Structures are given as C-alpha cells and as structure tokens.
Amino acid sequence: MQAFEWYLPSNQQHYKRLQSKLDELKSVGIVDLWIPPVFKGTSKHDVGYGIYDLYDLGEFDQKGSIATKYGTKQELIELIKSCHTRDMKVYADTVLNHKAAADYKETFEAILVDPMDREQTIGEPHDIQGWTGFNFKGRNNKYSKFKWNFNHFTGVDYDDITKESGIYRILGDNKYWSESVSDELGNYDYLMFADVNLAHPEVKEDLFHWIEWFVNETKVDGLRFDALKHIDREFMKEFIDHCLNLFGDSFYRVGEYWSGNEEAKLKYLDALDYNMDLFDVILHYNFYEASHQKENYDLRTILDNTLVMNHPTLAVTFVDNHDSQRGQALESWVESWFKPLAYTLILMREEGYPCVFWGDYYGIEGEFSYPAQKEWLDRMLKARQKASYGDQDDYFDNPHCIGWVRHGNEKHLTKSASLINNSDDSQILRMFIGTDFVGTIFKDALEFSEGEVIIDEEGYGDFRVNAQSASIWLN
C-alpha cells in the first residue's frame, strides 16, 4: 500500500494513525507499506518532497517544528518496529534530486535557460543571488558535519537580486546539467528548488554516508526513489550498488520514472543492470484513458506497451497515487466507475507487484474529496489472498469485456474467474475452469453480480459481469 495521499491533515499524527491500522491492513493481505518522505521539509505542512534536511527525521527544531507533517522520529521508528513484528515491510520514499528552504542566500554566476529547452541559454552569464546555503543550525552537526553551498547545486529557480523566477543554470568548472537524464525539454535535469549536483564528490560522499546511517537508524526494508528521470543514471547505479553492498539483495528498490516513453525507462533500467523495479506509469495512463473513453476504449489493448506486459518482474502496478490525484501537477485521476476494473486487473492477475493507494482505500478529505472504497477493495484483497495463484488463462477476445482464470496451486486450491466490462450492457464470458470442477458452484466475491455459476460437464462456466463493472467468481 502507498500509505499516504497528498491531502492528509498536517496534524503530525500520521505515524500513529498508520500504527492503529496495521492489523486491519495485514488481515486483508497488505504486507508492505510505502511511507511518505520522512525527512524535514520546508515546513510542518510539507508533504515531504520539499526536502530540507535528510538527517532530520522529526528530531530537531528546524523549519518551525520538531515533527514532520507525519510525526516524530521516535514515532516513525516505533511504526517500523510494529510493522516488523507483523512480518510487514516498510519502504521509505527517498528524495535525492533537490533541496529546499535553504538557510541563507549566496551570490554566484549563472545563466538563464529556456524552460522549454534547457540546452538553450537566454542572455549572458551574470551574478544572481540564490537560496543555496544550508548549515542546519538546529541539528548542530549531529550525524553529519557536511554543509551545502552553491557549488553543490546545478540550478535554481529564483534570482533574489532581480526578484525574478526562471531556471538558472549555475556556472563553474566542470559544472553542467547531467547528460544521463531524460531528454524531455532538451534536458530534464532541473525539476525544482535547488537542483543537487550529484557529480560533485562531496555530495556523493555525504549521500553514501547518509544512506548507511538512515537504514541502520530506522531499519527500513527498502527505498522508493522519487523523480528518477531527473536523476543522473550513472550516479543512481553507483548508489544502488552501494545499497546492495551494504544491505544485500533483499533490500527493496523501486523508482518513479514518470514518463509514457517505455524506451526511455528501459534505457534507465539497463543502465542500472535491472537492479530496480519501476512503477508502471503507462498502465496507469491506460486506466485513465479507459475510464474517460468508457465503451469507446478497446479493453483488449489495456496492457499494450506497459511495463507489466514487457517486464512483468520489474513492474509495480498501481491505479492512482499522490501525483495523479486531483489538484496535482500530474493530475490523471482514474474515474470512479473504472476503479474496480483497474484494481481487478492489478490484484487478480499473475504479473506485477500491485500497490493499493491510501486515497482509494481510506478516501480523501478536503477540496478534492473522494469517498473511501474500502468495502469492495477489502473483498477484492481477500479474493486475491484466496485465489490469485497458479496458471493463468486469458480471454481477451471482446473489446468491451475481457476475463481470465487463475487455476490455483497445491497450497491454494480455490480457482478464480475475473471479468471486467466497460459496455453499457451486462456481458457473459464462457471460460474453462476444469473437468474436475464439474457441478461446482461459483459466486462473485465482489458481490456486484448476483446468483451462481455452475460449471458444466465440459468444465466451462458462463460467467457474468454487470455493465461498467467487474466480477471475481470463486468456487
């Protein structure tokens, strides 16, 4: 589960909230939690991606509070311990691309670049004032004595001399945008705030020291890497290799490479020797398009060009997340009617490592509110626990209704027949269960379709699914 969403209240209670829900999550089969960035950000309201100090986990009085938006360091460590006592793993969101809320301004030479093509410069090099000085007085050198200055960054987005915003590339010897990043907008090294120069030896040394400290301090089981397409892939390979040497291959690694360009993602994975999973962004966009096009979308193509189709063992499948939810820069919210269809696809199929979104499960409050879908998601998660095992037969012949059968294994004898339907009419798919199941009764675990399906003498069942709906039939 992605155990947070963008609009959680800034009451510093989320670690406690999560702790109270561990037993109910474990009971429905949630065994791993991706938690939000646990580091001190720009303020106690920061969702976590405006990183100020990687060594402050809610321990020091910095940026207006001791706790982060989610709680204190001690509460974080207690949460992780509680997960481990339940055989649940914790993956920490990790932001290495940029730093924010600097402690002081510095003057240095920079040049303005075209935001639509960062390889093109505008005007001449000149002195600007940028927020690039980090001394972390509140931490007072605990855990690390490293201080950041403009030499450790490649770009900023504001000149305090002219009071103008823009993308300014910082100039200096051997300093330029990384060449091992996405080529969107000419070069997508710069994303936001003060862009970290990951080629700088002092930066690398401190980050390598930090990750060893962080994992040993918290005992997290893995990392989720934010904004990968903006991070130098040569640095990332070194960093991943460092993690593997320190923590072993069981230490989990997953990255967010937010792009519809599958070729670019595979190039990144290849550079990392395929030592990382990626979120299947293309699958998410397929869900988004299908939810908006309704019956005009050909469900037979729902898996086309996806990571889960091309590299299933590297794909983390998801329906929505904190970036895609309403009001965010990457808003691409999957329509409510399609959510059960999308979750059936990621939870009941063999391929992929599915991730359930907190905002879908528990709902979202505020301006962009969304009701909790916990009731039917619980039924689906329990169906996954019982009957998402063994060989898989696909029935992808109808543009409006597709289905598949999971045949179970020696430890899990329950079979499942899953269907999704985007048409305005109910549909029936005839699917093979097995001649050893003749006369067996199947019912819809989601309780969307009423009645029973009885397996006929040839081992087939005529499985129903309602209009614009999903069904998971179990014996």
pLDDT in tens, 338-361: 999 999 999 999 999 999 999 999
What is the domain-level CATH number for residue 168? 2.40.30.140
Chain mean pLDDT for the chain: 97
102-135 core/surface letters (b: 16 or more CB in 10 A; e: else) = bbeebebebbbbeeeebeeeeeeeeebbbbbebe
Residue pair 415/434 in contact by the 8 Å Cβ criterion? yes
Residue 120 domain flag: yes
Average pLDDT of span 37-65:
98
Residue 6 domain flag: no
pLDDT above 90 for 414: yes
Does the reported pTM lie above 0.75? yes
Same domain, 359 and 216: yes
Residue pair 34/5 in contact by the 8 Å Cβ criterion? no
Residue 4 domain flag: no
Same domain, 176 and 210: no
| Predicted local distance difference test score (pLDDT) of residue 302 | 98
Span of 36-40, 179-183, 211-215, 470-474 with lowest mean pLDDT? 179-183
Same domain, 263 and 311: yes
Average pLDDT of span 439-453:
97
Pairing state between β 469-474 and 117-133: unpaired
Same domain, 328 and 211: yes
Same domain, 284 and 253: yes
SS3 245: helix
Same domain, 218 and 76: yes
| Polymer length of the chain | 475
Q: What angle do CA 203, 206, 211 make, to 5 degrees?
A: 120
Selection from 131, 125, 163 nearest residue 148 by Cα: 131
Residue 5 domain flag: no
Domain end among 320, 354, 387: 387
Residue 363 domain flag: yes
The tens digit of pLDDT for each residue in 262-299 reads 889 989 999 999 999 999 999 999 999 999 999 999 99
% of the chain at pLDDT higher than 90 = 98
Same domain, 111 and 196: yes
% of the chain at pLDDT higher than 70 = 100
Domain count, the chain: 3
Same domain, 383 and 396: no
Q: If you write DSSP's letter for every residue of 43-71 in order, what string do you get? A: STT--S-SEEETT-SS-S-BTTBSS-SS-
pLDDT above 90 for 174: no
Active site residues: 226, 256
Selection from 297, 276, 300 nearest residue 288 by Cα: 297
Same domain, 326 and 433: no
Round to whole Å and give the CA distance between 267 and 410: 39
Residue pair 473/444 in contact by the 8 Å Cβ criterion? yes
Residue 443 domain flag: yes
Domain end among 387, 419, 437: 387
- 140 Cβ partners below 8 Å, 6+ apart? none
Same domain, 404 and 329: no
Same domain, 207 and 178: no
Find the domain containing 406 and state its range: 392-474
Domain end among 387, 421, 456: 387
Selection from 334, 322, 339, 445 nearest residue 1 by Cα: 322
| Predicted local distance difference test score (pLDDT) of residue 420 | 98
pLDDT above 90 for 23: yes
What is the domain-level CATH number for residue 456? 2.60.40.1180
| Predicted local distance difference test score (pLDDT) of residue 298 | 98
| Predicted local distance difference test score (pLDDT) of residue 262 | 87
Round to whole Å and give the CA distance between 200 and 116: 26
Same domain, 159 and 208: no
